[in-house]
Structure 1
Amino acid sequence: MTLFKAGLRATAIVAAALAMAGCASQMAGGPSSKPSNPADAAAQAAETSHYKTAVREYMRAASQASQPAAQRRYRLEAGLAAAQGGDAQTAQQLLGGIDPSQLDPTNQARYNLAQREISIAGMSPDQALTHLPKPARNTAPAVAQRVWEKRADLHFANDEPVQGIEALVQRDVWLMNDRAMRANDNRIYDKSLDAIGLGIGPNSRAAKDAGKTTRGWLALAQIGQQPFADRTARDKAIAQWQKQYPGHPANRTILADRFHYKNATQVTRQKPGQMLNGQAPQPTSDQVALALPLTGQFQNAAQAIRDGFMFAYQNNPAGMPQPLIYDSNTMSPQALLSRAESDNVGILVGPLDKSKVQAMSDLSLPMPEIALNTSSDADQRPGFYQFGLAPEDEAASAAAHAVQAGYTHALALVPSGDWGDRVLDAFRSALAARGGQLVGYQTYDESSHDHSQAIQQVLANQNNADFIFVAAQPLQARLIRSQLKYYHAADLPMVTTSHAFSGTVNPGEDIDLDDVHFVDMPWLLGHGGTITRLRSEAADAYGDEAKSYARLFAMGMDAWLLAHKLDQSGLSTGQPIEGMSGVLSIQPDGYIKRYLGWAVFHNGRPQTLSMPSISQAKSGDSYAQQQQKNNAGNGNSLSAPRSGNNAVAPTAAGPSTSSQSTPAAPSSSGNDASWSSGD
């Protein structure tokens, strides 16, 4: 018997003893209504993760349906349930006769996920997890919750109970009905009991990096496993637990179902991707502190961000004291918090490295914080903002601009691995949200110079596509563009992210990228007036830091802009801010999304076509509104302008530009995926 199975058996014995003693009622779940037909029975089974039953009932519904459309729909749902339940053979048989191009965007995304689940069915849990990345922030809820559940299954199969519980906690955010949430809560609690039986409690080494919600589940399961002298003592422990974990989702049904505990605590339901409602801490002083790893692995990136931050402060101090600078590489998260409190800091900006941002997100800070990377927790505390150069934002912006230009059917070519998966998922979701469709994609090996196989495979769907999205660094982007031409796809418009542009105008190298469209930040694309003056002043004052790391320098400038705005009036959804790294839009979960400009290579030089606008961010860049704008003018066509004088002037709401071709922009790296937001 494995240690894991032995722990489960021990858990069952203890749980049974406690149930007999009356300390906790280990009920399997809450009340449910009896389904009236096979389709309802199947839906209920799927919502509660009983996938074999769901497959059987959906097939029964298909056999009873008189309309072909209904039969196809039920067969699709049966195939999706089989894939989610791990029955790859049945899923393949059921989905084999379905044409995904005939599905709506959400069901197409579900179908694509099912195909990925089928492909990983024979892999080890470790391998499968690498091929099933976490869902992007703008993923459809029906898809995101499935991904999190599958990742939870894989972690549990890999004897990683804490990571599995964390995945189910993330899944909860995306569930859309009470029955599914109740079933998910019961599974989390059962898995938490299993973890306690294995000696994994909320303060154990295995849970040290877990989020606060996950630790709350473990702490509650610890109470459920603990013998008490009487019910009063147990209820006192639960009341103390509620104070330590306010607003915890276990307050919804678990306390009543499992402990018969009369619960007076209200739980506010989260929207997908949104943190629990609560009062965000307000700045208690005008003092801002910037925490960056100024020594160690990320020091070059940190120094560029620091210089941009101080440059922006010096240009607009707004009567605020000079920011304090901390080297976060030499401080633990708790030490960083203690230092900020002792210095009477009103706003903390940073840190940069992802692991430390994750740790800071779990602390209860008395001041608002603008982290310079993202945390993977969905249930962020109020007052915790996340800002960085996320590649997902760039992929989504590329999709939005392409649709605005009238292109809706895409091929995609992305590097293999987690970074490519994240970019692809963000691009696909943004495209689908605007009525577009990804008709085919392939991954390529970044270490190779020959991408002929991947290109030929993706071009097999060329007749169904009107453009291709490529995610690549400059060298690979040039190679791929040349090889696309070799395979007679020169007329297929190519769209990419800022990663394809080094930031240095280099006509000799970038001539291979002619007619390629890409998104990038105003600091590199804008010119004329204020932005040109600021770039010149930055280069004079900071030299190589401002030139070689231009995108990071701009990120630092915007970090100060956000801190200043937070101090003066707060950061609010629906109130975008014009920044140098993009138009910044604060999302309900504290994530700060960037809207980017649009450019094209002509004679090896980037030419600006449009800049991001406040109105674009306010509208959420919806497909209908973008189409309306597109019909009003022809400035965003994917056809490259043939002279600088034909470049389209950006919208007036964006940073100052002119209608002339973009001059030499400062050089920039700053796309290093090893540190950038969202790693």
Structure 2
Amino acid sequence: MFGKVKRLVMASLGAVTLAGCAVIPGGTDAPVYNEPVANTPPPAPSAPDADLLPADTERHRVALLVPLSGSNSEVGQSIANASTMALLDTGADNLRITTYDTGSGAAEAARRAVADGNRLILGPLVRDNVDPVLAEARGANVPLITFSNDVSVAQDGVFVMGHVPDQSVARTAAFAIAQGARTFAVLAPRGDYGDRALNALEQAVTALGGRVVGIERYDRNNTSILSSADRLRAAGGYDTVLIADGARLAAMAAPRLKNTGDALPSIIGTELWSREDALTRTGALRGAWFAAVPDARYRQFAQSYASRFGDQPYRIATLGYDAVLLTLRLSRDWQPGRALPAGLLTDAGGFLGLDGAIRFMPDGVGQRALEVRQIGNGAFTVVDPAPTGF
């Protein structure tokens, strides 16, 4: 299964004129915690162009639901551009992907997508849009592959494709234990992301025979995290510390936890550290570990994206590319115009995309094969490669 899709991923990246992809009209990174994003008031609905989606008996109609207006429009456009690239790079002639703008109303975008005969929805981007989209899609038996990383939205008919922080924490903790770690402490922000990181660490460490012996929570500001780090260092009694936050705050807290050159405590982080080169300039973080999706194919993707669209993609844009690769894989056992057969999305073998191997579990959560990286002096090093399959 992986061989064919891998060939699709590595297909030539020359410029081509797009066919089979339409857009229904309606920086900063995507929201780190996938918090609700306010939509602008929806405009008066207009009737779709009768010629936009001609009758088609040989191509699958697939809807891409992303924000093309509003505060997340740049992220949504980056995902849409990446899906276009995937169509071009694979030469897919059996897919018709139509983009609908959730920025002017997720429910209306979903209603139009269903009315237009789409049998699969790629999106939406943020968790607060999942329920209104599902309300329109469920009656038509149209599944969703959301780009959110919030596992709480996974359910019958909703599959979570985003990079799940819990899996990054669990993977890194398991690696640390394999290196000899036994007692862990946690420095985590108050709120949903911190809760999820803490729970993931406790579950992973306990299952592998370790212990979590210290927990400090903080508000996401400079003073609070420094005070929490000082309290954690004073308490002691651990050999490894998880800093469950982004690069800026992690770089501030690390020198409060250990001196540059000290072997212990080991410091581990989360997927938020991926591609954050500033971490390599913080002495106290040298030797720290974190897990993320493989990055090797992203570099080629980013170069091709920039040459086509004149700008760098958002890191999350690979989800749009990989969603098209997944759809192509599904199309081998899916007849155009029919509902997606039950069980295809939860194939235990999964599939391979730019972000490595992924498979959807029966509960709808996408399980990813992650690599573990180590922070060095000016560079990241992969110390435990991601598996290439399941």
TM-score, structure 2 normalization: 0.73
**Aligned equivalents of 2:64 and 2:187: distance in 1?**
38
**Aligned equivalents of 1:325 and 1:518: distance in 2?**
35
Measured after TM superposition, the shift of residue 601 of structure 1 is: 1.4
Measured after TM superposition, the shift of residue 350 of structure 1 is: 1.0
**Is the counterpart of residue 432 in structure 1 residue 218 in structure 2?**
no
Alignment of 1:534-545 (within 5 A): 534-545=301-312
SS in 2 for 1:351: coil
Residue 95 (structure 1) aligns with? none
Residue 561 (structure 1) aligns with? 325
Report Cα offsets for 1:556-588 as digits up to 9, x if no partner: 222222222233342224213223334212111
Which is richer in strand?
2
Q: 1:384 to 1:446 in 2, by over 3 A?
A: closer
SS in 1 for 2:374: strand
Please tell me whether the aligned partners of residues 307 and 545 of structure 1 are also in contact (alpha carbons under 8 angstroms).
no
Task: Give the counterpart of 1:515 among 284, 287, 304.
Answer: 287
Please tell me whether the aligned partners of residues 521 and 580 of structure 1 are also in contact (alpha carbons under 8 angstroms).
no
Q: 1:437 to 1:375 in 2, by over 3 A?
A: closer
**Is the counterpart of residue 442 in structure 1 residue 206 in structure 2?**
no
What is the letter of the counterpart of residue 599 of structure 1? Answer: R
Residue 649 (structure 1) aligns with? none
SS in 1 for 2:103: helix
Q: 1:603 to 1:410 in 2, by over 3 A?
A: same
What is the letter of the counterpart of residue 345 of structure 1? Answer: N
Residue 30 (structure 2) aligns with? none
**Aligned equivalents of 1:377 and 1:522: distance in 2?**
25
Q: Give the gaps of 5 or more residues in structure 2.
A: 1-56, 334-343
Please tell me whether the aligned partners of residues 545 and 553 of structure 1 are also in contact (alpha carbons under 8 angstroms).
no
**Aligned equivalents of 1:341 and 1:284: distance in 2?**
18
**Aligned equivalents of 2:176 and 2:134: distance in 1?**
35
What is the letter of the counterpart of residue 439 of structure 1? Answer: V
Alignment of 1:479-518 (within 5 A): 479-486=252-259, 491-501=264-274, 503=275, 505-506=277-278, 509-518=281-290
**Aligned equivalents of 1:328 and 1:298: distance in 2?**
10
**Aligned equivalents of 1:449 and 1:398: distance in 2?**
27
SS in 1 for 2:77: helix
Measured after TM superposition, the shift of residue 493 of structure 1 is: 0.9
Q: 1:376 to 1:536 in 2, by over 3 A?
A: closer
Please tell me whether the aligned partners of residues 304 and 553 of structure 1 are also in contact (alpha carbons under 8 angstroms).
yes
CA RMSD of aligned residues (A): 2.8
SS in 2 for 1:519: strand
Task: Give the counterpart of 2:152 among 376, 395, 416.
Answer: 376
**Aligned equivalents of 1:437 and 1:580: distance in 2?**
35
Q: 1:435 to 1:509 in 2, by over 3 A?
A: same
**Is the counterpart of residue 356 in structure 1 residue 132 in structure 2?**
no
Report Cα offsets for 1:208-256 as digits up to 9, x if no partner: xxxxxxxxxxxxxxxxxxxxxxxxxxxxxxxxxxxxxxxxxxxxxxxxx
Report Cα offsets for 1:371-418 as digits up to 9, x if no partner: 22247367x32x432221332222222223223333232111111222
What is the letter of the counterpart of residue 436 of structure 1? Answer: G
**Is the counterpart of residue 471 in structure 1 residue 244 in structure 2?**
yes
Q: 1:508 to 1:457 in 2, by over 3 A?
A: closer
**Aligned equivalents of 1:585 and 1:367: distance in 2?**
19
Residue 586 (structure 1) aligns with? 360
SS in 1 for 2:140: coil
Structure number with greater CO (CA < 8 Å, separation at least 6) is 2
Q: 1:458 to 1:540 in 2, by over 3 A?
A: same
**Is the counterpart of residue 391 in structure 1 residue 165 in structure 2?**
yes
Task: Give the counterpart of 1:418 among 160, 173, 192.
Answer: 192
Residue 351 (structure 2) aligns with? 577
Overall identity of the aligned pairs, in %: 25
Residue 116 (structure 2) aligns with? 343
Alignment of 1:156-171 (within 5 A): none
Measured after TM superposition, the shift of residue 442 of structure 1 is: 0.8
Please tell me whether the aligned partners of residues 190 and 218 of structure 2 are also in contact (alpha carbons under 8 angstroms).
yes
**Aligned equivalents of 1:506 and 1:301: distance in 2?**
23
What is the letter of the counterpart of residue 305 of structure 2? Answer: A
Please tell me whether the aligned partners of residues 182 and 239 of structure 2 are also in contact (alpha carbons under 8 angstroms).
yes
Measured after TM superposition, the shift of residue 325 of structure 1 is: 0.9
**Is the counterpart of residue 457 in structure 1 residue 251 in structure 2?**
no
Measured after TM superposition, the shift of residue 536 of structure 1 is: 2.6
Q: 1:485 to 1:521 in 2, by over 3 A?
A: same
Q: 1:330 to 1:518 in 2, by over 3 A?
A: same
**Aligned equivalents of 1:352 and 1:532: distance in 2?**
23
How many residues get paired?
A: 321
**Aligned equivalents of 1:324 and 1:597: distance in 2?**
33
Residue 378 (structure 2) aligns with? 604
Q: 1:487 to 1:461 in 2, by over 3 A?
A: farther
Residue 613 (structure 1) aligns with? 387
Measured after TM superposition, the shift of residue 285 of structure 1 is: 5.4
**Aligned equivalents of 2:260 and 2:298: distance in 1?**
41
Which is richer in helix?
1
Measured after TM superposition, the shift of residue 490 of structure 1 is: 5.5
What is the letter of the counterpart of residue 505 of structure 1? Answer: D
Please tell me whether the aligned partners of residues 70 and 104 of structure 2 are also in contact (alpha carbons under 8 angstroms).
no
Please tell me whether the aligned partners of residues 101 and 109 of structure 2 are also in contact (alpha carbons under 8 angstroms).
no
Measured after TM superposition, the shift of residue 598 of structure 1 is: 1.0
Q: 1:324 to 1:481 in 2, by over 3 A?
A: same
Please tell me whether the aligned partners of residues 286 and 377 of structure 2 are also in contact (alpha carbons under 8 angstroms).
yes
What is the letter of the counterpart of residue 193 of structure 2? Answer: W
**Aligned equivalents of 1:426 and 1:368: distance in 2?**
28
Task: Give the counterpart of 1:552 among 316, 325, 328.
Answer: 316
Please tell me whether the aligned partners of residues 565 and 571 of structure 1 are also in contact (alpha carbons under 8 angstroms).
no
**Aligned equivalents of 1:536 and 1:455: distance in 2?**
39
Measured after TM superposition, the shift of residue 425 of structure 1 is: 0.9
